[in-house]
Amino acid sequence: MAPVRLRHPKGVSTIQVAFDRDDFTVQDLQQEIYTATDILPSRQILKSGYPPRALTIVPELPLNSLGLQSGEQIIVNEAPGSSSSPASTFPPAAAFSPPVSQARPSSSATLSPPRSNPSTSASREPPASDAASGPDHVETDGGVLVHRVVPDDNSCLFSSVALVFEQSITKAPEMRKIVAEGIKKDPETYNEAILGMPPAQYQATILKPSTWGGAIELGILAAHYRAEISSIDVETGRIDHFSPGESGGSGMRCILIYSGIHYDAASLAPMADAPGEWHQTLFPVISSDDSDPILVAAKKLADILRSKKAFTNTSTFDLKCEDCGQGLKGEKGARAHAEATGHVRFGEY
């Protein structure tokens, strides 16, 4: 076994990998990275070398297919994703390659996010048959935890954060400004290698209303509001915790619901159809693990949404190249097509 150094959104880690074993695969490397970073293999964006180059990931191949050496550093970013309109721009550190475009390993071009599929996107309203019962919700201590749907307008992450911290999605543009300022204030953390583009360019990009947000943005917003942001993945039930950092925070957390390409919020209310001003959006951190009662309720809410197929698997969804019309399968297909053709605009069937 030999050491490999990881730089990822939560810090720096070292993992041990078997360069000398033919049966040690790229997938094994991804699992080690997942253990160290909590970033699912399907969402890992890996770069190495200087200047950093994107690694072409084929999980079944042996590790030596990546050309890595013992002691080498790998830059790890997560591609969570966000909204689902057809003409948006991916920032370099969020979803579907979003904000760090996994489909453009050596290009500065941006990708258009996939179109929303009404049968899979969690950003859609509940089916007509559920309309009478109001929004999806689960009972918990003190009331019901309610799924708060925000618009599909490429600002869903910012709208959700604005809803929980400012009680209004109209303040989403202010969330973008907070992110841009956070990057400007901390050039050591948010450098070109982490952002995937020069920091000044990233700041300008994230301020555009057509740009999605992801892990980098959630980390900055958590630090700004001095509260943990807990994002639960509908498909897997996994909860990603974005801590307020060195400030220690206020001991509070909020809940976001992530569908694979869209973020919504969750809040506590006395009844599912209570007016917005009756909703509680910040919760005291009772437990540091996922046994915290509000997180247990959030998992149950994700279970309801999963049962309705209210998520999009970005590794298997069907895409079409908007430049040439070719049909593609998932992120891997889009990445290969982009490398072969230079085309960077994709939409979901």
- Which of the residues are catalytic? 153, 156, 262, 343
Kindly report the number of other CB atoms within 10 A of residue 236's CB atom: 15
Our measurement of the distance from residue 292's CA atom to the centroid of its chain's CA atoms, rounded to an integer in Å, reads: 22
Place of tokens 């209210």: 310
Contacts of 150 (CB under 8 A, 6+ apart): 123, 156, 159, 160, 163, 169, 263, 264, 265
Q: DSSP labels for 136-199?
A: -EEEETTEEEEEE---SSS-HHHHHHHHHHHS-GGGHHHHHHHHHHHHHH-TTTS-HHHHSS-H
Burial, 91: exposed, middle or buried (Cβ in 10 Å; 0-12, 13-18, 19+)? buried
Nearest to 320 by CA among 43, 102, 115, 88: 115
For the chain, what is the total number of helices (H) and then of strands (E)? 8, 15
CA–CA separation, 259 and 118 (whole Å): 12
- Give which of 147, 177, 185 is closest to 163, Cα–Cα: 147
